[in-house]
Amino acid sequence: MTKQLRAVYCLAAAAVCLAAGAVDAQAQIRRVEPRQSIGFNLGYFALRAEDARPDDDVLIRNLFDVEPLLFETRDFNGASIGGEWLFGLGEFLEGGVGVGFYRRSVPSVYAHVVRDNGREIEQTLRIRVVPINATIRFLPIGRGGVEPYVGAGLGLFNWRYSETGDFVDVFDYSVFPGRFSASGTTAGPVVLGGVRFPVGGVWLVGGEVRYQRAIGDVDAASELLGERFDLSGWTTSLTVHFRF
């Protein structure tokens, strides 16, 4: 073997060793240690649409009663806020626990009935939901850099719905003041997806879309129309996290 050929073999072997070392170093970089983050979200909650709600839903019954109220289910769409704690479960999995808050008040009147003096008969419909969620996220390209993810989990939804104002007795059409309410806590599945972008090393800013499916039972003693209240809907959020 000539000196030139031995030199070529030595250079080739060195190149292989360097390449192997680079691959191993990259793998070490990719094996990100599980980390934690805390964050908050500001979003917009859209209640499940009228045509997708069950027939015995309180809002549906109000819209199609003998004397219906005049409002739209989309009137209940509004802002939501929340916070969460995320923790690593390896390079590609992440667990999370979060809590949120949503409240909306909607004015309504009777669609076909007015007072003797021609004035509207008014009510205020209010809904409040406090969701507590436990989720698992899958990060297909791992943590570090841009982080797309999908996930699912279980939510506990503490809710309260009320109707306050003046109402019509459909038997004699007298008008009376009243306040009716129902509340409870119900469980349901949650699915989500989003993407996060690193900012300044420890901050992550992103967007998320989340769907919740839950229906609360309405006690007959509440005297509300309907036997259930559909809490299902979509939340689109801006998210900010601090990673440590």
Q: What average pLDDT does range 220-232 have in this prediction? A: 96
Give how many domains the chain has, as a whole number: 2
The reply to whether 113 and 99 lie within a common domain is yes
The reply to whether 25 and 141 lie within a common domain is no
144-170 tens-digit pLDDT = 899 999 999 999 999 999 999 999 999
Distances from the Cα of 103 to the Cαs of 76, 127, 131, in angstroms? 9, 6, 12
Residue type, 199: V
20-63 tens-digit pLDDT = 343 344 444 444 455 899 999 999 999 999 999 999 999 999 99
The reply to whether 107 and 18 lie within a common domain is no
Q: What average pLDDT does range 191-215 have in this prediction? A: 96
The reply to whether 42 and 25 lie within a common domain is no
Planar angle of CA 187, 135, 41, nearest 5 degrees: 95
Q: Output the pTM of the full model.
A: 0.83
The reply to whether 102 and 205 lie within a common domain is yes
Segments forming the whole domain that contains residue 47? 34-243
168-202 tens-digit pLDDT = 999 999 999 999 999 999 999 999 999 999 998 89
